Structure 1
Amino acid sequence: MPAPITEEQNRLDREALLDAAERLFYEKGIQAVGMDEVRAASGLPLKRIYRCFAAKEDLVVAVLARRDRRWRGELAAHVEQVQDPRERVLAIFDWLAGWFAEPGFRGCAWINAFGELGPSSEAVLAEVRSHKQAFHDQIARWVRATGLPAVEAVFLLAEGAIVTAGISGDPAPARHARTAAAMLLGTS
């Protein structure tokens, strides 16, 4: 009889599975990646994968939730280094420019997931909406600190830059959105 799987092994297996699935889903698309490919990339048997996540949809939601925490955390770490409230808002676009220029950038993982599964998966749709609301709230906090009523405009500039850069493969939309945000904030 095999030894029982420890909590630490469960954690390590789950992280390996999420790492493999995130990379594959972002690189190739969710529907294009089968569970056999996730199995091969993670090194875990399918039986073990399905013990961690009963369905592919559950895996997708877990990937998006984990990516959300990391993505917004990295954004906050960058933005909150800046002291001046208006410059802090502009730092959002500086961080986006760096992200857009990363090798393998394929746009917004949540928009991509919504495009593939949003209409057919309430769980994925809920996770996408949760991320977008959290991102909005994050931006709102930074913009409100400026005392200017520009929350929605800055949020839409950020979202538009993300979508445009994802489609064009060019990081320039971050710079253009930063210029527009600077005009809104009176820092141009």
Structure 2
Amino acid sequence: MIGKSSSADPLQQLFCYLMTEAPKCFPNHPASNIVITGTLNFVTAASLDYRTQGMKLPASAKRYTTFTRNISGIADVMGVFIFPASVPVTAYIAAIPDLMVFMLSANDVLSFYKEEVAGEELNRVSLLALCDNSTKIDVLKQLVNSTVEAHNNISDILKPDEEALDAYLSFSDGYIWAHAGLSRYRLKELGIFAK
């Protein structure tokens, strides 16, 4: 898929072009590889979503829900984009795993209400509850705890580099408030984040 595309599909040609541009944005930098692999994982996840519609998961497949969430959420890519080029990769790379947990779990928590109201069952909370044989509320509490723990870990990891920490704190604040402010999440119906 990457490289000189002979495809007549203009979308595929553009995708290939954009993937080859990543190293120009992050020259000689592991971040460009994260952007490329994360983007390819997202495309793979979209294909998996389509091909596995209606697939029944056994209770022992609990990690599958996290696997598909990780590759579909592009949180690793977004994590790289948080930090300005002036921040060395060594200042933030150890925080990327917790950034992924923070972004994906926070999104799952903040999306839960709208998904429940819509009767959606193909989401991480519902699938984990099914695999764990637990309630959705118990899973939701676990995800809230994971989100808070990840936020604390990230803050601790980034503390030695003020620019990296400031970039993250600005991002995390905006990430939560963006969810709160978007009507699609329907959080105002619950009186959450109401000003």
TM-score, normalising length: structure 2: 0.34
TM-score, normalising length: structure 1: 0.35
